[in-house]
Amino acid sequence: MVLPIIIDGILLGALFAASTIGLSMFYAVTGIFNLAHGALLILGGYLVYTALSVLGMPLPAAIVFSILVLGLGTMLFYKYMLHPIRTHHVTCIIITLALLLVLERLTIVLYGPWGLPFPTFIPETAVIGGVEVSLQKIAVTALSLAAIAALWLIMNKTWLGLAMRATIDNMNAATAAGINTEKIIMLSVFISAAITAIGGISIASTLFLSPILMSQMNMVAIAVAILAGLGSLWGIVPAAFILGFSDVVGAIYLGGWYRFVNLAIVIIIVLLVRPQGFFGAKERIA
């Protein structure tokens, strides 16, 4: 029983991390909590599905297509809808919530209200310690972790990452140092959307595609972000695995009703006990 819990917890934790880190990054660089994140996440999966089934693209091209469309779309949304009113935080949150509802309705109109099966590219399975695991799930987990590792390298080993961290820490000081903070923010928004697209692809490959997942995965991302601490980019990873294992253990011992219920419980408890989260989120200085 222990080994299946470990395997499922790792798979789900990686999925939660890839699904949330884009939300945390968007908040860190813009100061806006994006309630449309769940919709953008699942939209990334729908874009790959469209590229594969309608446009006939191979999988690598479909992934690039999803990243580019979601990244550019998110940049335009931020630039023309959020940036002009970025100091009015409540208004920005309401606009992102409206976007979530619009994208949910639009997805139902275009794809229908029912779930769509995502193509299986790796039908084989592997046996790990007597537990049979889908190779596609393993590949998706590797993709999620690779995307997070690539983001870490960008943030810590490149000039762009240095500029991004300076902008997040103190926008005024970064501007005084000669950094074009507006351009850095736009690039950061694109990168956050790109990793969100990868998270959506991982969800589609592991589960299925459905408009209902937009709100459900929004709940997942919000719970992970709150547990980590808003703006705590790397706290997302341990927080995601904590919730991933919690979800797996709860579903096994308490039943399927526990899934997603624990996320609401985590949000309430963390906000009451430690509103700043548990992994060293820093206050945004803008």
The pLDDT assigned to 122 comes to 83
The domains of the chain, with CATH numbers, are 2-273 (1.10.3470)
d(CA 227, CA 262): 12
> Which run of H or of E encompasses 132?
strand 131-134
Q: Which of 13, 32, 14 is nearest to 198 (CA)?
A: 14
The structure tokens listed for 156 are: 């810590």
Question: What predicted TM-score, i.e. pTM, was given to this entire model?
Answer: 0.89
pLDDT at 286: 38
The three-state secondary structure class of 136 is helix
**pLDDT reported for residue 280:** 58
Which among 189, 169, 191 is positioned nearest to 179, based on CA atoms? 169
Do 174 and 29 form a contact (C-beta atoms < 8 A)?
no
CB atoms within 10 A of CB 11: 21
Paired with 128 in beta bridges are: 131
* Per-residue model confidence as pLDDT tens for the chain (286 residues): 688 888 888 999 999 999 999 999 999 899 899 999 999 999 999 999 999 988 999 989 999 999 999 999 999 999 999 999 988 989 999 999 999 999 999 999 999 888 888 888 888 888 887 788 888 888 988 988 999 999 999 999 999 889 998 988 888 888 888 889 999 999 999 999 999 999 998 888 887 888 988 988 898 999 999 999 887 888 899 999 999 888 888 877 777 677 667 778 878 888 888 888 887 544 443 3
Q: Copy the structure tokens of residue 26.
A: 């968007």
Supply the pLDDT for residue 262. Answer: 76
Q: For 209, phi and psi rounded to 5 degrees? A: -110, 130
